[in-house]
Structure 1
Amino acid sequence: MFPSLDPRRRLRQWMLRRAQPQPQCRLEQNRIYLLPTRFGLTLGLVALAVWIGALNYDVSLAYALSFWVAGLLLVAVLLAYRQLAGLQLRALDAEPVFAGDAARFRVLLRHEDDGERQLSLALEDGVETRIERLPGGAEFEVELSVCGSRRGYMALPACQIWSEAPFGLVRASAWVRLRAQALLFPAPLQDGQRGRSLGGGDQPSDQPGEEEDFSHLDAYRVGDSPRRIAWKVLARRGALVSKQFAGEGRAGLLALDWQDYGRGGDVELKLSRLAWRVEQCERLRQPYVLKLPTRSVGPQPQQRLLALTALALYLERGDERP
């Protein structure tokens, strides 16, 4: 098979190779590419044809028309370049999501000019986002959605930013790679195996006993008893949190154990089932401990985040297959 000769594809690959990942960037002259649009190219060919006709028939009006169109094209080049020149871009990490869901990256744009700019921004093979008015001197936030199918860290794909303002004759564009990432948890897969109880007792009571010691503060969840709410923290910081006690729920503590599925088997399938069981325990407020071959995540502040992160990064930080 012959290599692809599509000039647009080869030009895009060449520009992507020049774009190095960086946390933030500023568009300068060496990063902005100017090409005529289809309308601009057609208008240029018309101006050339009129100029050739003026040479043959010595028509002064034809000379003036061709030079006027050529001047308009030159002005369009400068104005299109001005839309991107000096533009600063910065990307923020996205919140963790499950594999298959859309991670939402935030890209911050800023320029110091007084005038407004008109831009378009899109990820590689992604949906275009138009910015009709980008004011100067203030940051403007654009949200870009990226779907990832594999657990672990997902980097923000390359972004293209371009403008054809104000005449639509010339397209100024630049490719950037902003250093931002999102953590993808394993996609939950329903599992009937609920894990074994470590204590063998009843479900934990919502009311802590007097003999139980205070453990930590955790985020408030709908349904928490008013007795659990840390009212002093609410009054002082305005944050709604619930008290957690060291002794509560020990009788009903569930073990979400890697060994529940035996040796061997599909690793991704096990991780997805454990992720579903973590979500079920969180929804039912069931105390649990997640047991992986080389680490465990027991009841503690932000247990859900820690447990799902451990599943997302399994085999990426020295874990071994059982």
Structure 2
Amino acid sequence: MTGLSDTMKNLFKNRWSRWINRRIPRSDLQTFSQKNIFILPTGAGVVFGLLLFIMLLTGINYQNSLIYLTTFLLGAVFVGAMHQTHRNLAGLELTLVQPGEGFAGDDIPFHFRLRAGRDDAIAILLSCEESCHAPVHVHSGQAQDVTLPVHSAHRGYLRPDRIRIETRFPFGLLKAWSWVRPVSAGVVFPRPVPAPEAFSTVDDGEESADARSVDGNDHADIRPWREGDLSQRVQWKRFARTGQMVVADWEGEQGSPHWLDFNAYPGADHELRLSYLAFLVNERGKSGARFGLNLPGQVIEPDSGPAHVARCLRVLATWGEERPRDATTEPHGTRKRRSAESPQTTKEGQV
């Protein structure tokens, strides 16, 4: 019986979702009207209605005019509240201004703009799953910006299936609500994980080759720190004693310190490698060092600055991912299996 009950619930839920999706197509701009506003009594409204019914029966039983007057007066209040609750959303326009960016596991800010119609929009509440924004009041003909945090589960594209907009003003006896189904998706970066020491397989050319010692010698050479060196290689104890920042440079190293390389961590799964690279990108960004990013099928030439850091993080976030499509049922975008050789095939692991 339990299995049959769960099947019926899932069937009803799927049919309800399909009906809502047909009624409210995906769009970054939604104007609310009678076609897409839903209204029902709240729990308090149901209790209020039952009390009115009991009062009506009492008035009929005792033929008491005062009970009749009170019952019809409160009933008129209920009907007036229903019209006012509906008017709070009628004519309201909700626009997704900018989808947010952030790291996996964090709340990603989505920026919306509310623009009221002929009537004031009072006590408007935006929510998505377990996240919500404090109620806002938008005056007639004016606009107000609202930021809604949306929780992210993993890296990639983040597109909420539905953003709920709701009001219970006045009295909280009824609730009017609707949804907006965004088209634009936010971007979730890999969660940074401190990276072990590894050396890039990418060479800078003759200049780096001339500066490299003969292969086969594995003793360390202490040299002054220079831009692009990994922070893990800095001799911090010596720095604490002398104030001089030096680096242990092992002879026989290969590759360039100016490159962050996906292939430098052959023992780690793909998602962990991306988390390592995200950590290193942040580290280089803080120090202002010049660096490039090497991924299978995609290379970003060495550069520096906040714009370069943001570009590298977006590439790490969307590597191997496809933008969400209307046919997908995943609430937080898509995840495609892929291999390291091709960005369109499998990837392993999750963060």
Relative distance call for 1:56 and 1:285 in structure 2 (3 A) is closer
Aligned to 2:160: 156
**2 CA distance for matches of 1:205 and 1:69?**
76
Aligned to 2:60: 55
Q: CA deviation at 1:320?
A: 5.0
**2 CA distance for matches of 1:53 and 1:305?**
69
Contact persistence 1:105–1:156 (CA under 8 A)? no
Give runs of aligned pairs for residues 99-178 of structure 1, distance below 5 A.
99-113=104-118, 115=120, 117-131=122-136, 133-178=137-182
- Number of residue-to-residue matches in the alignment: 274
State the Cα deviation string for residues 5-49 of structure 1 (Å, max 9, x = none). 88xx95985775443221101111021112112222222222212
SS of residue in 1 equivalent to 2:302: coil
TM-score (norm 2): 0.69
Percent of pairs identical after alignment?
Answer: 26
Q: Does 1:275 align with 2:278?
A: yes
1:294 to 283, 294, 297: 297
Runs of 4+ in 1 over 4 A off after TM superposition: 9-16, 200-206, 317-320
Q: Does 1:182 align with 2:160?
A: no
State the Cα deviation string for residues 94-135 of structure 1 (Å, max 9, x = none). 34222122211111101122545222221123234211x221
SS of residue in 1 equivalent to 2:132: coil
Aligned to 1:68: 73
Relative distance call for 1:12 and 1:62 in structure 2 (3 A) is farther
SS of residue in 2 equivalent to 1:50: helix
SS of residue in 2 equivalent to 1:105: strand
Contact persistence 1:293–1:320 (CA under 8 A)? no
SS of residue in 1 equivalent to 2:35: helix
Relative distance call for 1:156 and 1:92 in structure 2 (3 A) is farther
1:43 to 38, 45, 48: 48
Contact persistence 1:89–1:110 (CA under 8 A)? yes
Aligned to 2:234: none
5+ residue gaps in structure 1? 207-250
**2 CA distance for matches of 1:75 and 1:12?**
29
**1 CA distance for matches of 2:178 and 2:280?**
45
Contact persistence 2:227–2:289 (CA under 8 A)? no
SS of residue in 2 equivalent to 1:66: helix
**1 CA distance for matches of 2:317 and 2:227?**
31
**1 CA distance for matches of 2:79 and 2:64?**
23
Aligned to 1:3: 5
**Matched residue type, 1:286:** A
Aligned to 2:218: none
Task: Please provide the CA RMSD for this pair.
Answer: 3.0
Relative distance call for 1:178 and 1:130 in structure 2 (3 A) is same
**1 CA distance for matches of 2:103 and 2:227?**
31
